[in-house]
Amino acid sequence: MVDVSIPLLAGDELEKEYRSGPEVVRVLRGASVELRAAEMVALVGASGVGKSTLLHLLGGLDRPTAGRVLFDGDDVFARGEAGLARYRRYDVGFIFQFYNLLGEMTALENAMIPALLARRPRREARDRAVEALADVGLSDRVRHRPGELSGGEQQRVAIARALVNGPRVLLADEPTGNLDPKTSEVIYDLFSRLQAERGLAFLIATHNMELARRAERSYRLIEGRARTVEPGD
């Protein structure tokens, strides 16, 4: 049995600076967050406050200026490049606001990409993608290209793509930012079902406070630091 009291993924005092000419821009100033197994956590904050930056650090897409990212208690940036690549490939999945689908490929081909990049046999990659698309309710859309799908369907393809290598954590960056309220509810219902059925943990950056309240816990990112949102905030 998984001990849900121990963080599965944690950012410990994360700092991130960018240099813009002679100016140094400090985006994160010691942000700490925790995500337990099979937990749904929301990350809220104004545009430009650093939510995407924090997700990129937690997912190993970018390196922090200071601080650590711990997965199962292990510092992911101490693993070396090969270990970091395995972490990005197998342990975490990413869902983006703009879907990031390849327009010339079908839904099935888009969903297969992570499995192919992991050098799985093509038949296995296809089987995994078919299963993931079925999990998000798109079995009847596998041969459709993104231009033939609605925004909500495109986001579900992106979710299937994130699922295909069996991650334990999904990092979602404004996953409903381009969707209408009704479709946003469908996506969050899907997250809840995947959390319950697959035991997935979700960290969701969102502006939508109504949807954020459906998470078990929330952080608000302010001035480069993350603070727990208390009930009624």
Domains in the chain, CATH or no CATH each: 37-64+75-228 (3.40.50.300)
Q: What percentage of the chain has pLDDT greater than the value 70?
A: 97
Average pLDDT over residues 204-216: 89
Under 8 Å between Cβ of 201 and 40: yes
Digit-coded pLDDT (tens) for 167-186: 999 999 999 999 999 999 99
Instruction: Give the H/E segment covering residue 43.
Output: strand 40-44
Residue among 107, 34, 105 nearest 72 (CA): 34
Q: How confident is the model at residue 149 (pLDDT cuts 50, 70, 90)?
A: very high
Residue carrying the six token digits 């975490």? 92
Q: Report helix angle 122-135 to 107-117, nearest 10.
A: 130
This prediction's pTM: 0.93
pLDDT of residue 221 exceeding 50 = yes
User: What's the mean pLDDT in 88-99?
Assistant: 94
Does the pLDDT at position 51 exceed 50? Answer: yes
Q: What pLDDT sits at residue 1?
A: 46
Task: Give residue 62's Cα distance to chain centre.
Answer: 14
Instruction: Give yes or no for a contact between 58 and 9, defined as CB atoms under 8 angstroms apart.
Output: yes
- CA gap 204, 39 in Å, rounded: 11
